[in-house]
Structure 1
Amino acid sequence: MKRWLPSPWLSLGLFLGWLLLVRSTSPGQLLLGLLVAVVMPLLMAPLRPTPGPLRRWGVLLLLILRVGRDVVRSAIEVARGVLRARRQPPRGTFVVVPLELRDAHALASLAMISAVIPGTVWSELAPDRSSLLVHVFDLDDEAAFIAHFKADYEHPLKEIFE
């Protein structure tokens, strides 16, 4: 089965996406959608990265909840910063965060987390992966930000992937 459908969920998504795009369930479109759903994952299989080793599912769940909480909190803080920008401009700055993470999947997850949280932007990863440059929208205390970033995101990812 894996030989013909290396990624069944992707195939299902492609098939349903095809039907939604053409807005037809005629036999020809069903057949064409099925063809796309089977052939595309086969052609793209060599490009798929190997799955990451997820070790601690409980930590992953807590990380997801923590990121969700931080998204809401940061969105409120950024909105406040934008509303008071004329009186008190935000103190946007770049912060260098030293990293202990080395796993590619963990680093990709950290990139997604920092992109999702309002007010932070992943700017650059050092070539040796020893530090990360993050732009922060409004920063009071750099040391506190680094401690928060490492404790809330990096250490859980390290537990999950390494």
Structure 2
Amino acid sequence: MRKLFPYPWMTLVLWVVWMLLNETLAVSHALLGAVLAIFMPLMTRAMYVHGRMKVKKLWLAVLVATRVVVDITVSCWKVCKIILGTKQARSRSGFITIRLNIRSVYGMTILASIVNSTPGTVWTELSDDNRILLVHLLDLNEEQEFRRIFHERYEKPLMEIFE
């Protein structure tokens, strides 16, 4: 069974996304979606060089996802205020470095997605040893707050989930 479905959750998610994108429950779409959902993980399994992702605390993953949605919404409003505000407010952007403690490749990938999805921040560079992260912030007045949120609300929970 594992040979046909090496990543069963991915297969299920691909099939559900296919059905949602097509907005129909027609048998032809369901079958085509099932074929694609079964064969895509089979054809791409050579790319999974880091092994299977193991989520240790699913409830914490849901909590982090909820936090991300709330923080992105709040950040959208802050970015709007900066962009529509004074020229001085727009001139406070710059780069900061953050020391990373997370080691999981999957955790880092999700952390990068969170940073890049949040308006006003961009993950720009990771050191060769994966210890120092360079981030561009639109508002450097919140540098310390960003570091605190980054470590407490995202990095630590992701370490609990994946390590």
TM-score of the aligned structures, taking structure 2 as reference length: 0.77
- What's the secondary structure of 1:95's corresponding residue? strand
Matched residue, 2:6: 6
Q: How many residues align?
A: 157
Matched residue, 1:147: 148
- Partners of 1:68 and 1:39 lie apart in 2 by 32
Deviates more, 1:58-67 or 1:128-137: 58-67
Q: After superposition, what is the alpha-carbon deviation per residue over 1:29-86, rounded to whole angstroms, capped at 9, x for unaligned?
A: 9988776555443332222352222122232222111111110100000011110143
Query: Does structure 2 conserve the Cα–Cα contact (< 8 Å) formed by 1:120 and 1:136?
Result: yes
1:25-104 matched pairs, under 5 angstroms: 38-48=38-48, 49-86=50-87, 88-104=89-105
Q: 1:138 to 1:34 in 2, by over 3 A?
A: closer
Structure 1 stretches lacking a partner, 5+ long: none
- Partners of 1:38 and 1:57 lie apart in 2 by 24
- What's the secondary structure of 2:41's corresponding residue? helix
- Paired amino acid for 1:103: S
1:122 Cα shift? 0.5
- What's the secondary structure of 2:141's corresponding residue? coil
Q: After superposition, what is the alpha-carbon deviation per residue over 1:105-144, rounded to whole angstroms, capped at 9, x for unaligned?
A: 1111110110111111001111111111111111214233
- Partners of 1:15 and 1:53 lie apart in 2 by 21
Query: Does structure 2 conserve the Cα–Cα contact (< 8 Å) formed by 1:81 and 1:90?
Result: no
Query: Does structure 2 conserve the Cα–Cα contact (< 8 Å) formed by 1:121 and 1:135?
Result: yes
- Partners of 2:53 and 2:45 lie apart in 1 by 16
Q: 1:96 to 1:44 in 2, by over 3 A?
A: same
- Paired amino acid for 2:143: E
RMSD: 3.0
- Partners of 1:100 and 1:85 lie apart in 2 by 37
TM-score of the aligned structures, taking structure 1 as reference length: 0.78
Deviates more, 1:101-110 or 1:40-49: 40-49
- Structure with larger Rg: 1
Query: Does structure 2 conserve the Cα–Cα contact (< 8 Å) formed by 1:15 and 1:34?
Result: no
